[in-house]
Amino acid sequence: MAGPYSADFVNRVRAAVDIVDVVGEYVQLRKSGRSFVGLCPFHSEKTPSFNVNAERQFFHCFGCGAGGDVFSFLMKMEQLTFPEALHKLAERAGIELPMTHAKEDDDPPENRAKQAMLSAHQLVGKLYHYVLTETPYGKEAMTYLSKRGLSPQTIADFQIGFAPDSWDFVTQFLQKRGFSLDQMVEAGLLVKSETGNIFDRFRGRIMFPIHDSQGNIIGFGGRLLETASASRQQAKQPKYLNSPESPLFNKSANLFNLHRARPFMRKRKQALLFEGYVDVVSAWQAGFHQGIATLGTALTEQQARIIRRNVEQVVLCYDGDAAGQEATAKAIHILQEAGLIVRVAPLPQGTDPDDYIRQHGPEAFSQQVLLQAMPVTAFRLKHLRASHVIQDETDQARFIEKALAIVIELNSPVERDLYLRQLAEEYSISLDTLKWEARRLYKQQKNNSHRDKVSPAWNNSINNGKVTRAKTLPPAYHTAERMLLYYMMRNRHIAERVQTECNASFQVDEHDALAAYLYAYFAEGHPEDPGQFIHYLQDESLKQLASGLAMMECKEEVSDQEIGDYIKQVNHYPKRAELERLREEQRSLHLQASSADSEEARRELEIQAAVIGMKILELENALKEG
């Protein structure tokens, strides 16, 4: 609810922003009928079931049920409180916050802590950049960076900085500005020793700020500057050091450079995924702005989903060494699971993208690496070849079997054929033999897997693996209740009519609860606006239900007759249920009668059945009359 804000203010903010724009910053949306659809950011899916309705200004996911207005979206997406979401959207719309509101006092302590950590990161980011570019302490680092080919513009673009080789440079800086040092330890900027001493985490390092999707600095990656004057301490330090996990910094849910790359990723319909920050920076400078990187850890499902929300295609540009190829093989699986089309950039053995660009230039990187990116199957076969020494026929047979296992995973018969031909040629095996072997292997695999995993059908290249489940239709009263709620939310007269004419309450508990809130909502004089009603609801599951209902594609106009029919359906339900029960009882009595011990018992049971039969007739007539 609005809390200290007037409903008027909340509505003004809501009216000033477009939910399609706001959601569009997180989810790639495409127009479909009256709504926009995309992949849900709140659950993992490959086909879009996330809907945003521009006209009615709310969203709903038919997959996981998430739904609500623009405020609920931002709250859920960014883990914000309502006031935070309101501030953010008001700021976006250029609406000034009411002066009466003292923001600081209302914020819960954990928000204030987060705010302090965020502002410390912004300040320290500026400090590091200043030290690098404007002070003698940064000279050596600056020389190193320009030797590596980074221009002053790129250094400014990425706000690259330098942490001097000092124990308390940042500690003092933060202390003077009144930050709690313990909080700064929690934020990862400082370290506390076992003896309780607090000192700088990053010393003698070139600093790369890491931002969240909104462009706030949430952590740093530091590369050790190996200098002639390097201290003994430095020798023991790791080459790369990242901020630790903190309330701000979640390594599995963020990607380096995402906030800058996002518009370019969408424009080029492609993301370049690197392992190192320097690769991203180097590619950026060479004109490839759609590059992002993981944060010093292996790619996570969450990161893959973030990428998928923005683009359909990703090119993996990991290092050309064995570790890089191993990481590539793992990343492919995660990216494909997230529904991405993956290609692998072929980097020569022992080079990373940064090396390659520096040695060969942007043009070669584009022509020889990006444009030569291999489909996943080609990469996997190459990877397999590289890890197999073939000395005799047994080695070869083993290799071929593994290669075929990769090829039979392909859905397209054309592609399968292509790779089979390549293998046949390369190892001088007849194509027929290979095909026969592939088919045998496929059958064997199919028999072995009793799991209901998606497996490509050998003879069918379209839509295979898709499970078509016969959906059971909801009972008529269920649909009628939903239709009524849909129109009730948009028209107070319909709501009033239902309130008086529906003598029994709605059968589905949640529908009944929603109707009760709706009556109260209109009674309090609120307008006929599903968006506002959804906002008015406090219960998350009811919000979801209401947004789902409001998203239904129903015709705008509804006649009194139609509403009457729906009400009848709802009112009839208890009678129908009773009818069903009586019929069952009648059947059971007839059955007992037919196997009765004595004639007397049989007659007694038939009489009971007849009495019930009369009740059934009465009910049937009542239902016919409406």
What residue ranges bind Zn ion (CB under 5 A)? 40, 42-43, 61, 63-64
- Nearest to Zn ion of 43, 92 (CB atom): 43
CB of residue 21 vs Zn ion: minimum separation in angstroms?
20
Looking at the Cβ atoms of 66 and 331, the one nearer to Zn ion is 66
CB burial of 522-538 (b: ≥16 within 10 Å; e: otherwise) equals beeebebbbbbbbbbbe
Q: Return the exposure string of 222-231: e unless at least 16 CB atoms fall within 10 Å of the residue's CB, then b.
A: bbbbeeeeee
Residue nearer to Zn ion on the CB measure, 43 or 478: 43
Nearer to Zn ion among residue 49 and residue 133 (C-beta): 49
Q: How far is the CB of 34 from Zn ion (least distance, A)?
A: 19
Query: Cα separation of 367 and 363, whole Å?
Result: 6
Q: Least distance (Å) from Zn ion to the CB of residue 554?
A: 22
Using the CB atoms, write b or e for 565-604: b if 16+ within 10 Å: ebbbbbbbbeeeeebeebeeebeebeebbeeeeeeeeeee
| SS3 of residue 227 by DSSP | coil
CB of 531 to Zn ion, least distance (A): 19
Q: How far is the CB of 42 from Zn ion (least distance, A)?
A: 5
Give the tokens for residue 337.
């699971």
Helix, strand or coil, per DSSP, at residue 218 = strand
Kindly tell me which of 61 and 434 has the beta carbon lying closer to Zn ion: 61
Token pair of 515 as six digits: 């109707």
CB 213 within 8 A of CB 258: yes
Radius of gyration of the chain (CA): 33
Q: How far is the CB of 548 from Zn ion (least distance, A)?
A: 11
Tokens of 560: 């009194």
Toward Zn ion, which CB reaches closer, 64 or 123? Answer: 64
Smaller CB distance to Zn ion: residue 40 or 342? 40
- Residue 273 near residue 316 (C-beta atoms within 8 A): yes
Min CB(550)–Zn ion separation in Å: 16
- Nearer of residues 40 and 265 to Zn ion, judged by Cβ: 40
Q: How far is the CB of 88 from Zn ion (least distance, A)?
A: 22
Question: What's the order of all strands across the beta sheet hosting 67-68?
Answer: 30-32, 35-38, 50-53, 58-61, 67-68
362: amino acid identity, one letter: P
- Quote the CA–CA distance of 318 and 352 in Å, as a whole number: 7
Of 515, 526, 487, 495, whose CA–CA distance to 2 is shortest? 526
